[in-house]
Structure 1
Amino acid sequence: MRYLSMMLPDAADATRDDGTRRPARHGADLPTEAATALGSTPAPASADARRRWLRRAGIALGLAALVALPLLASAQTAPVSPSPIPGVTATPGAGGSTNYSVPVQTLLFFTALGFIPAALLLMTGFTRIIIVLGLMRQAMGTQTTPPNQVLIGLSLFLTLFVMGPVFDKVYDDAWQPYTRNEISFDTALVRAEAPVKKFMLRQTRESDLALFVKLARVERPRTTEDLSLRIVVPAFVTSELKTAFQIGFMIFVPFIVIDLVVASVLMSMGMMMLSPVLISLPFKLMLFVLVDGWNLMLASLVASFGAVQ
């Protein structure tokens, strides 16, 4: 304390540069900015007073560091016990399985929701339906009619119609027993997988299945039901693309005939500057309406999937 009193003299014992005593005054040794912050109006500080104030601030920071360093060292060496998240637990279940608490199950459920669009596109008839409708619009020459929202909505409801028996079977065999706690979640997944895989195998060509079995380098199974979804899903998507383009080709043929006839008539009349598409579009629309094109096309699309059981 004596050393500190020597290094930090009281403001009442401060002396002027000429050796004479001066009364203590609030904020006299502080710089102008610091004294103004304290609410006083100091006199202009000299260079020596500014140096003294900086020296005192440095000594105070040094003492604070000396006190803080031992505390930091003890905090680093002390063992830190992890604080568990309340409500998140994982307990071992029967058969080596793990039963997660409700918050973890909720998190996994909402994470799985991100895979629903992929499952809808690749494991149902949505791919075939939306491709055929898009090719039909392009064949007619109406680039934005019907709009994309209408085509996607129509494809979605047609998919629900086609996949209705499959979804009903999944609901009865997997979801209902699981909600009644009659089966486990893993068993529900296995039961839900069976009708969906059966539907995909009915629409998949054997050549596509053989291709992906060869690419996966797995042993050839005795039956197609023994194949995993890792092989069935890409083979199903490949077959759906082939089928959709085949149906699209059949749709294009009558509209191409109309375009050729209109183009030949315009060339024979010498109207080479007139676009054949502009003239053929009303005839395409008339033909599509007269033959009830929407009814025929949607009925053919649904019938192309066959009877789903």
Structure 2
Amino acid sequence: MSKTVIRSGLLLLGLAWSFAVSAQDVTLFSLHNTADGQDYNVKLQILLLMSLLTLLPGILMAATSFTRIIIVLAILRQALGLQQSPPNRVLIGIALMLTMLIMRPVWQDIYQNAYKPLQSEQITTEQALERAAVPVRKFMLAQTRENEMQQVLRIAGEPSNLKPEDVPLDVLVPAFLLSELTTAFQIGFMLFIPFLIIDLVVASVLMSMGMMMLSPLIISLPFKLMVFVLADGWSMVAGTLAATFGANW
């Protein structure tokens, strides 16, 4: 048994050695100089691209309008008194489609100024990433509040008088997320008020009729749904969310 293990080990070592000898010219992590600087090996570019794809959900939530939209939709569902309808997957789908629509100018800028020159080998990968970050930074700066920016700058130990273009990306992203949370809850509060009034009216009517054992939600839910549908609520919410972004940048 021990001889078999030793022979198997020697065989594996021989195969590994022969593969290493035959693969001496195969380069994975390498750089080569170009007229515009240094560029990465194609295999390394593919590796970096696959790594970025794994970070795509986090980038989607941290640098786009997705966070504000999904929070507003979740608060709207709660205001209507619906627990699981629309389900979470439907809300995420709506938020994702609205995000793609609202962020369309950013995607077009990245495609025209970063992806197409990179594809035609006019710029390097590093230059393409720098160009792609410009419209994203512009979008986030337009939506970031001053109070949140100053707070994150204090946490990071950065000077509070930094110009917007000098703010590091690792400071801008949390400031942007805090601003999105604040804006989303403000919009959600405004959406909550009409449905809260309906709940109060229904509860008052039931109390005056002596029906204290009957839950007001059972009576108010059809009225809230009727008002929301008659007012074309989904279109109004989508239009309002889009307007909160489009007017600022």
TM-score (norm 2): 0.86
Aligned mate of 1:203, from 119, 137, 143 = 143
Write the deviation string for residues 219-262 of structure 1: whole angstroms up to 9, x where unpaired. Answer: 34542011111011000000000000000000110101111111
Hey, which of these two has a bigger chunk of helix by percent?
Answer: 2
Which residue of the other structure, out of 102, 110, 113, is the alignment partner of 2:50?
110
- Would you say the 8 A contact 1:166–1:308 is kept in 2? no
Counterpart AA for 1:199: F
- Cα displacement (A) at 1:104: 3.2
Distance 1:148-1:232 versus aligned 2 partners, 3 A rule: same
Q: Which residue of 2 aligns with 1:164?
A: 104
Partner residue of 1:30?
none
Aligned match of 2:27? 88
Flag the 1:142–1:92 CA change in 2: closer, same or farther, 3 A.
Answer: closer
Deviation string 1:155-200 (CA, Å, 9 cap, x unpaired) is 1110011000111011111111111111111111111111100000
Q: What secondary structure, in the 3-state scheme, does the structure 1 residue paired with 2:246 have?
A: coil
- The reply to whether residue 261 of structure 1 matches residue 198 of structure 2 is no
Structure 2: which amino acid aligns with 1:94?
N
Give distance in 2, aligned partners of 1:185 and 1:100. 7
Distance 1:100 1:187, change over 3 A: closer
Q: 1:61-101: per-residue Cα shift (whole Å, max 9, x none)?
A: 9xx9xxx9xxx9xx9xxxx9993793333344339x76544
2:238 corresponds in structure 1 to 298
Gaps of 5+ in 2: none
- SS of the aligned residue for 1:183 comes to coil
Residue 217 of structure 2 corresponds to residue 280 of structure 1:
no
Could you state the TM-score of these two structures normalised by the residue count of structure 1?
0.70
RMSD value, Cα: 2.5
- The number of residue pairs the alignment matches comes to 234
Identical aligned residues as a percent: 49
Higher relative contact order (CA 8 A, sep 6+): 2
**In structure 2, what is the equivalent of residue 219 of structure 1?**
159
Q: Is the 8 A contact 2:38 2:124 kept in 1?
A: no
- CA drift at 1:135: 0.5
Q: C-alpha separation between the residues in 2 aligned to 1:213 and 1:274?
A: 52
Maintained 8 Å contact 1:90/1:98: no
Distance 1:298 1:90, change over 3 A: closer
**Is 1:147 the counterpart of 2:87 in the alignment?**
yes
Q: Is the 8 A contact 2:202 2:216 kept in 1?
A: yes
Cα deviations by residue, 1:17-75 (Å, 9 ceiling, x for unpaired): xxxxxxxxxxxxxxxxxxxxxxxxxxxxxxxxxxxxxxxxxxxx9xx9xxx9xxx9xx9
Q: Deviations over 1:109-148 (max 9, x none)?
A: 2122111000001100000000001100110011111111
1:145 is paired with a residue of what secondary structure?
A: coil
Query: Is the contact between residue 39 and residue 125 of structure 2 (CA under 8 Å) also seen in structure 1?
Result: no
2:124 aligned partner:
184
The offset of 1:153, in angstroms, is 0.7
Unaligned runs of 5+ in 1: 1-60
| Shift in CA distance, 193/100, structure 1 to aligned 2, threshold 3 Å | closer
State the secondary structure of the residue aligned to 1:94: strand
